[in-house]
Structure 1
Amino acid sequence: MMGELFLPVLSHFQNQNTWISSQGRLRYKVVPDGEELKSEVWEGPWEYALSTVEGAGTFPMSEEGLGSLAAWLEGWAADVNARPRRTLEEDIERREAVKREKEAQAAQQQG
């Protein structure tokens, strides 16, 4: 059974705290930026640095914005958690592909 999606109270973000969490295979990160909450989502099991961000959203830093963020994340959770499960080998290949892509980007930037 998957747990319920959880976000901290608004004051957590107003105090400039980041939040990284998961629900099932969905991973999400919420970062306060001025008067906005910026969020990114990706499919687990790997950490942010070893994953491909699939979606990003920006929401007002308010109770209404927090509610909209929660609804947006719930939509992503439904989508990601409905996907067919991958084997460990498939997940490892996804992680290695991200590593190769980031190494290629770094090499290009060094020129």
Structure 2
Amino acid sequence: MHLASPIPVLRMFDEERAREFYVGFLGFRVDWEHRFEPDTPLYMQVSRDGCVLHLSGHFGDGTPGTALRVHVDELDALQQELLAKKYRHSRPGIQEQPWGRDMTIPDPFGNRITFTTAGKA
């Protein structure tokens, strides 16, 4: 038996802002999208490397304010990539923690994504 990594479902309220943040800023790609009908909420999967997220516009899916942690092996490189984009809503910094280093970035919907690496650089 093998358990795979969980796939978090994050609530979104605006598709354009979700794409701007997750695809344009964080560098994820849209893997697939689903709607039950043309005017119904969007449910989609985005991914970058081994990190997979589901974004949902459906009432009851996810809770705004969700916090998740994503391990990254080169946190400084990710920070520099994001800072170079000059995204108007975020200039992420790195915090030293007892367990390693964290870079927390809130999405436009109140969710917090912490990119983390173990140990000191």
**TM-score bucket (shorter structure):** under 0.3
Structure showing greater Rg? 1
Length-normalised TM-score, structure 1: 0.27
Length-normalised TM-score, structure 2: 0.25
**Comparing both chains, which one has the higher relative contact order based on Cα–Cα distances under 8 Å and sequence gaps of 6 or more?**
2
Richer in strand (by share): 2
